[in-house]
Each structure stands twice: as structure tokens, then as C-alpha cells.
Amino acid sequence: MAKRKQPEPKPAPPSTAKVGVYVCHCGGNIGDAVDVKQVCEQARRAPGVVVAREHMFMCSDPGQEMIIEDLKSGLVDQVVVASCSPSLHETTFRSVMVRAGANPYLYEHANLREQVSWVHHGPEATGKAARLVAAAAAKAGQLTPLEPLKVEVQPRALVIGGGTAGLKCALDLAARGQAVVLVEKSPFLGGQAGQLSRLAPGGETAAEVISELAGAVLAHPAVTVYTCSQVTGFEGYIGNFKLKVTRMPPEGPEDDERLAAVGRSGRGLGEYAPFAGVMPTAIPERPEEIDLQAGVIVLATGMRPYRPRRGEYGYQDFPEVVTLPEFNRLLAEASAAGDTLELQGRPIRSLALVHCVGSRQIPGIHEENEGGYLNEYCSRTCCAAALFAANLVREQYPKTRVFDFYRDIRTYGRGQEELYTRAAKKQAVFFRFEAGEEPEVLKNSDLKGPPLLVKVKDILTFGEELSVPADLVVLAVGQEPNNIADLVAKMKVPVGADRFLQEVHPKLRPVETAVAGIFLAGTCQAPLDVGETCAAAGAAAVKAAAILSRGYVELDPFVVEVDLSRCTGTGACVEACLADGALSLVEMEAAGQKVRRARVNPVLCMGCGACVAVCPENAINVQGWTLRQFEAMVEMIVSDEYIG
């Protein structure tokens, strides 16, 4: 559990403070608008300031060395750097403190760039800069050394979802020597990929990919797999998540379909069954609850293919309209040889493919889906999957013609453009439509011809209206995130406008969520293909393993602390607290009497300060941001004593 060194109770009085102020020109970014020399001069007059220096680039090595020297020589104890925004360089200068052997929390940052030079000019700019620096120096004089919170980590990872991402992530974690619990809702491992036949663009079979992954996971002694299981209870924080997993017999048509597929295939437990996946164990007969603790959680809850509305491109109105995943199943049942593809005894001489079904929907142009949302994103994987299917058909059944209707061809990745070129070489005919002028699927009035007619206003033919008779229309459907509203509500992980789970930063922190210790892997985050999913899962495994193998995590100590000499146990703080469990009232002895006093769980505290605002006794304060420190800052901002 959480351990913390108590800081010195009494802040050093301002008179004994030795504050060093370091003002940065930021090239000309600050220096062009702010008179840095004057800021330094005024800073020297502020109480507690023993030295004020300037530098062209304080973040450069010489700038940092200057600060380190002053700290090491004992000239200064507290440091103020006045430069860019703290989000850019606060950590840089805190680590300067550490390198000088000082406490990193005896540091205060003043923002003279975003808050001054970029928005003000002339004498006012210099005046504001001087006040901000004086305020920061006043706060610095009040700072006390703090220690980061240290939280022990339960040596176990929980991976939620047994598809490609979950399997790969569990395997990579186990390979790093970490214990893993893998929880999968359905009776199967393999997820959506396990229900495909061949994978674009390379053509590997789902059977080999999923057999290898699931086989290795099931054989690994460090991985415990629970199928037919869901996470039904969640509490705790990074390093100490407490979870309840409920195992119960599956229900729902999707699982029934896959169970039937296993029956037909004649495969046993632990073996890959086409269009189902790998069923590792028998289905539980009665519900069962499992309690477990985990240090980290990886969400690999995956996606589902978009299901077209009734009537969308004739889906469900005509039996000859199918989705691409449905088509792949039909294709697997068809005879592998022959000039013309035959599906369920019906020759398919003309096959139409439609791209972007359920993707790239535009408000005001496209109809909202059930639930009132639009999928405005590109699903990325369907172009390659559609072209892969087109090539497969053209190569195996040369008398089956393929007509491809696209809005844009987005063959973005390695091996994908080749699929597009190959489709043209194999004589597929392409048509292009505008958004909002999607092709129409109609009944063919020529009763001797194929049953359907696909009508399109074709951009490639100068906007002329063309129609193509079709025996089968295949809809290249996109990806939608699985509905995990219950998990989202429990874990409070952020969800994007596209309903996929959202990372902290798309480039710099692509597999972390805003909830510390919870990571993302695979298509719960965005539409991805199997290769991309494995890459993402590997990244999540590394991030998770880094926490587990270290054994503890360090958190910033900016959390509240109760001053028991002032607390009277009003409970106002507990009521105002926004983080469940961070504050509570506990019984304790004070002067021989039993009293109730506030107690903080520092690991759960977010440092928001809601409690500080409501405490009538001023008995609670955020460390590093105490009311006394704020008062010192305000005094300097309004004072005309030192700043002219």
C-alpha cells in the first residue's frame, strides 16, 4: 500500500529562504518583448531572493549547469525558472534539482512566454513578467521538500479480451516473466480475426495466426485464461486494482453461431475451428465469481464489423446482398475450382463490391445509425480486405466478373497498393461515387439477367449514370468499437467522439489511458488490421511490464494533507471530495478523547483542492500548493513595494 515520508510540518519562514531566480530569453521569444535585465533587477529586490541570472536558453546545458552550480555551492536552496510554459520544461528543471542533489519540489516555474511575451508587448510585458517572477519567488520561499508517493504494485496483469490484441499482449507479458490473467467474454479465443478466413494484405490464414497465438497462450504457465467471463467489479488504482470476474454460461446468437461452427468442424477443445476460434475449455454450467488483484490492466476489448441497416444498399431486402465477412464464409463453403463462382448452387457471374459501408459517414448527408450516431472515421482495413477478396475471386473463378464501387481507394500500408494494382491487372472494373451519391442497389427488371442492378453516378465516367447487373452485392463494412459501456463507467477511461477508447496522446503516449495503470491494445482504440493490432498489443505489453517489473510506482506528491492540530472533524471535505475513497472520517484519540478526524488516502487523491475550499478550519491543504503559498503569491502580485 501507499507509503509516504511526512514532510517537515513547518514551512521555513521567508527570511531564511535562499531563492535563486533564473530568467530565460528563449532566444528572442521572451527577450524581444520583455526586458529580461530589468526583470532580473526587480527580482533581486524581492524578499528571499539571493541571486537573479539570465540566459539566452535556460534549458540548454550551460543554462542548466549555471543552476546546478548555484545549488551545489549552497548559494541557493529554492529555484525559480522563468521561461516557457511548465508543460514544456517543468520536468526538465525538476531533474536539474535532482542532479544538483536537491529536492525536486523546491522548484517553482514562472511562464513568461505563453502568459507574457506571446500576448503582451512593451513596458506592460516587462511589468507583468516582473510580477509573475516575484510571485513565483515568494511561493518558492515557502516550499518544503516533498517525496513522491510510492505505491507497491501487485505482480499481475489483467488483460480484458481474448482476441488478437489480448492474446498477443498476454503472450508478450508472459514472455517478460509477468503473471497474466486473460478474461474473455465469449467461449472463444481469437476474437474477430478468428472468424475470418484469410487476412489482407499478405494472405496468411486466420487459422495459422490464431492457432499460433492461442496455442502459445494456453501452453504458457504464467497465463491464466478465463473464457465466458466478464469483469463485473472494479476498484482501486495503479498497482492495486481489485477486480471481480464473473464466469457464466454464454448467451446470445453470436456465441450460438460460433458454437455451432465448432460442432460442424469436429474440432476439439484447444483446437482452432474455422469461423469460430479456439475454445480452450468447456462451458461453465453455473455462474462462478473470481476475485483477483492486478497491478495493471490492458483493455483489448476489440471491435465488431458494422452491421448495415435493413435496406442500406438493399441489405436484408435482397438475399443477394451480403457483408464482406458474410461473403468470406460463403466463399469458404464454395468449391475451390471452377470457371465461375457458385454460391449455394447459384452461379455468380457478376459480383459488385461496395466500399465505405458504415464508414466515413457525414452529418447532414448520411442517415444516423441505430443509437443516433454516425461513423465519421475511415475504417482503414476494408479497402485492402475488399480488394483482397476481389483478387481471390478473379484468380480462382476467372469467369466471375468483379465490379468495384469506391468513394476513395485507401490502400495505405505495406502490400496494400499492390492489391489495388493486381485487381486492375485481373480486370476488375472500378467505379467511383461521391459522398451522398452512393450507388443504389435495385431489383433488375430484366428477368433473364442477374437479380440485381447497381446504379451509380460515376465520377470516372464524367458523372454519367451507369448501371451494372449483379448476381451478388458485397458490402465492405467498417469497424465499430464493441459496446463496453459498463467497463467504461467502472474504470472511467476516456472515450473519443468516435466511441473508440482514447489514449493520452496519439503520438507520444499512444497506448496509455488517462487512468494510470490502464492501457489500450488493438481495435478498442481505432480500426486496425491484424498486423497493426499485434504491434499495438506489443506496445501495451511493454508499458504494462515496465510497471510490473519495477515493483512500485512513484506519483507526484501534490495531494492533500490534513493538519490534525486544526481539524475538527466537520466532514465538509469528505462531502466535497470528487475522488471516491480519497477522504474519509476516522475515529482517533486526541487529548484523551475519542474524536473523528479526516484522513487522506494519498494514492486516490487527485490534488484538485475541492476540500481545501470548503474546510472552515483551513485544516487541509494540497502539498506544494498550500493556501499559505497562494497568499504569498497574491501578496507579491498586488504589492508595489518591490515592483515598480
List residues binding other proteins (CB under 8 A): 350, 401, 403, 420-421, 424-425, 427-430, 432, 455, 458, 460-462, 464-469
DSSP for residue 568: -
Compare residues 264 and 425 and give the one whose CB is closer to other proteins: 425
Instruction: State the Cα–Cα distance between residues 44 and 39, nearest whole angstrom.
Output: 9
Query: Residue 608 is placed in which grid cell?
Result: 484538485
Compare residues 448 and 462 and give the one whose CB is closer to other proteins: 462
Instruction: State the Cα–Cα distance between residues 453 and 276, nearest whole angstrom.
Output: 33
Instruction: Give least dist CB 477 to other proteins, A.
Output: 24
Please state, as a whole number, how many other Cβ atoms lie within 10 Å of the Cβ of residue 134: 28
Reference 468, options 480, 477, 457; nearest CA is: 457
The β-bridge partners of 263 are: none
Compare residues 18 and 401 and give the one whose CB is closer to other proteins: 401
Instruction: Give least dist CB 339 to other proteins, A.
Output: 14
Instruction: Give least dist CB 236 to other proteins, A.
Output: 55
Instruction: State the Cα–Cα distance between residues 15 and 343, nearest whole angstrom.
Output: 89
Instruction: Give least dist CB 432 to other proteins, A.
Output: 8
For residue 369, report the phi and psi dihedrals to the nearest 5 degrees: -80, 170
Instruction: State the Cα–Cα distance between residues 486 and 489, nearest whole angstrom.
Output: 5
For residue 240, report the phi and psi dihedrals to the nearest 5 degrees: -140, 60
**Residue written as cell 458474410?**
326
DSSP for residue 329: H
Compare residues 19 and 356 and give the one whose CB is closer to other proteins: 356
Compare residues 419 and 573 and give the one whose CB is closer to other proteins: 419
Instruction: Give least dist CB 424 to other proteins, A.
Output: 5
Compare residues 11 and 469 and give the one whose CB is closer to other proteins: 469
Please state, as a whole number, how many other Cβ atoms lie within 10 Å of the Cβ of residue 41: 12
Instruction: Give least dist CB 438 to other proteins, A.
Output: 16
Compare residues 46 and 428 and give the one whose CB is closer to other proteins: 428
Instruction: Give least dist CB 435 to other proteins, A.
Output: 18
Compare residues 461 and 483 and give the one whose CB is closer to other proteins: 461
Instruction: State the Cα–Cα distance between residues 381 and 385, nearest whole angstrom.
Output: 6
- Give the SS3 label for residue 36: helix
Compare residues 229 and 411 and give the one whose CB is closer to other proteins: 411
Please state, as a whole number, how many other Cβ atoms lie within 10 Å of the Cβ of residue 267: 16
Would the CA dihedral through 311, 314, 316, 317 be positive or negative?
positive
Instruction: State the Cα–Cα distance between residues 519 and 536, nearest whole angstrom.
Output: 10
Instruction: Give least dist CB 456 to other proteins, A.
Output: 9
Instruction: Give least dist CB 468 to other proteins, A.
Output: 5
